[in-house]
A and B are shown apart, each in its own frame.
Chain A
Amino acid sequence: MTEILIGKAASFEDGGRRIVFHGDVEIGVFRWEGKFYAYENLCVHQGGPACEGLIMHQVEDVLAPDRTFIRQTFSESDVHFVCPWHGYEYHLTTGECVGDQRLKLRRYEVVERSGEVFIIAE
C-alpha cells in the first residue's frame, strides 16, 4: 500500500480534477461537491484518457404522465465525466460506465488528512 500525496485539499477547486502519475499508471482525481474521487485514467473502450474529458450531467428524457415525450434536460445530481476520445461516459461518483455498468474504471481510495489529500495505491 502506498499513499500518494496529491496536494492540499484547499487547493482543489470543486468541480476540478488533476491527473497524477504513479509509476506508469495515470490516475484522475476529481473533487465534486466537496468529496474526492480517483480512477485510473484509462478508458475501458480503447484506452483513452477517460478522466481528462468534459464533466457533464446525465441527459434525461422528460415524459408526461401519459408517457408522451416533452423535452430533454440535464440531471441535477447524476454527473459524469466523458472520455474525450470517443465519448464513453462514467459516473463520477462510482467510475461505472454509463452505457454498461458492468464496465468500471479502476477506482482508488482517497483520504483527507490534516488538510492534505492522498490516494491509496498498491
Chain B
Amino acid sequence: MELPLSNHRRMSVDEFDTRITLSHAAKQARERGYANFPIIDVDSHHFESESFAEIVKYIEDPVVRQLLESSTIAGYRGVGALPAGLGYQDYGGRIMREPLRRLERTEPKPHRDITLTRRWMDSMGVDIAILFPTPMLHLGLHPQVEIEVALSYAYNRWLVEHVLAQEPRIRTMLYLPFNDPTATYRVVKEFIGKPGVVGFMVTSNRYRPVHHNDYMKTYALLEESNLPIAFHGAYNWNDQSMLMVNRFISAHALGFVWYNLVHLTNWVINGLGERFPKLKVLWIESGLAWLPFIMQRLDNEYMMRTADAPALKKLPSDYIRDMYFTNQPMEKTGDVALLETTFRVIKAETQLLYSSDYPHWDFDLPSVIYDLPFLNETQKRAILGGNALRVFGMEPPKRKLAVMD
C-alpha cells in the first residue's frame, strides 16, 4: 500500500499486524502486572462497515434491504447508505493503523472482528471489552428514521449472532434507534438477556431530547432490568454551531462533548435522576474535563433558579455524581492537580470506568489510569475493572482472560 506523505513523497507498506504495532502496550501490561487483576474496557470499536454485506442480509424491510445491498457491490461507491461523518480521524494517514488495517491477515474463522479485537485486547491486557460500531455512530443523524431503525436492528442481530455469541470476552451495550422511541423500547425488550448484551447505548449526536415522555417507558424497563443506558459522544461537523469551525481538531474537541453536555443537562434538570433513581446512566467518550464545568455551571444557576428545576431534591452536581463515566479521551496535558480534582469531584474511585476507544485515533491505554500518581493500587484496579464489573453485574473472571506473553 502506498501512503501519501508531504511534499509529494510516498511510503510503501506491505503488512500490518495489531500485535506488532501494540508491542509497547504489551510491554506496559507486563511491567505493570496487569496479569494480577481484571481489566474491563467499556468503550472499544470495530468497523462494522467492513461486514456490511453480512449485516444488510438481516434487514427485514425488502426495499431498505435492496437499497442498502446496492452499497455493498465491490468497488461501487455510488451509494451513500450512512450519514458518514465528515472528518479526518486518521490525521492524514498519520494514525497508520486506520489505512493499514486492511493489510492485516486473519484466518477465515473466527470472524475477523473477533480476531482483531482479541489481538488488541491481549496486547493491552484487557480481559473483557464492550464493543461498539464506528460509522454507525453517525446513524442518529440519518434523515430517514426508518433507515436507522432497520439498519441498527440488523446490526444488533448480526452482532449478537456473529460476534457476541462466539466470544464471551466481547460484550456490547446495544445500539438504540433513539429517533424512534417505539423501536427503541422494542429493541430493549427483545435483546435483554441475549449473549453479551450488558446494556444499551444511545449515540449522542442527534436531535432528540432525552427527557421526552416517549422515552419513560424505556427508562423504566432498563431500570427494572438493572441494565445501564449509555450515551456515546460523537461529533457532527454539519451541526449549525460546528459549521463555524474550520479544523477537524475543533469539530472533534467540541463535538464529542457538546451533545453529552446537552443530554446530561436535560437529564439532570428534568429530574430523571429522581424519576429513575436506580437507572444506571453512563457517559462515554467525552473525556473528563467537561464534568467540573457542567457541575459548577448547573449548581450555580440552580441556586438562583430552583423553580426552573422543581423535581430536584439536591444539587445538580449531586445527580451527576450518581452517574458513571468513562475516561477516554482523558485530558492529560494540563496541571495534574486539575485532573486529581476532577477525579475527586466525580467520585472516580466508584463512578469512573476505564475505556480505551481502541482502535480510534485518540485511544487510551490502561496505563493512562494505572500511572496516575494520585491513585492507590485499589483505586486503580477499581477504575480499570472493578467498577465495570459492579455496574454491569458481571462475574469477576476466575482467571486472567487476556492472553499475555
Contacts and interface: CB of A to CB of B under 8 A. Distances in A.
A68 B362 CA distance: 32
Given A42-B24, A56-B5, A74-B6, A87 B94 contact: yes
B3 interface: yes
Nearest to B97: A84
A54 B3 CA distance: 9
B91 interface: yes
B24 A87 contact: no
A56 B6 contact: yes
A107 interface: no
A51 B94 CA distance: 12
A82 interface: yes
Given A46-B367, A54-B3, A57-B7, A86 B24 contact: no
Contact of A47 (B94, B96, B365): B365
Contacts, number: 58
Given A46-B365, A47-B367, A54 B96 contact: yes
A2 B363 CA distance: 36
A46 B91 contact: no
A47 B5 contact: no
B9 interface: yes
A84 B92 CA distance: 11
Contact of B7 (A47, A54, A74, A82): A74
Contact of A87 (B7, B25, B91): B91
Name A's interface SS.
Answer: loop
Interface in B1-31: 3, 5-7, 9, 11, 21, 23-25, 28
A95 interface: no
B364 A87 contact: no
B368 interface: yes
B367 A82 contact: no
Contact of A48 (B11, B24, B333, B362): B24
A54 B5 contact: yes
Given A49-B24, A54-B94, A54-B96, A15 B9 contact: yes
21 contacts: A42-B24, A47-B367, A48-B24, A49-B21, A49-B23, A53-B94, A54-B3, A54-B11, A54-B94, A54-B96, A56-B5, A56-B6, A57-B6, A82-B91, A84-B94, A84-B95, A85-B95, A86-B362, A87-B91, A87-B361, A100-B333
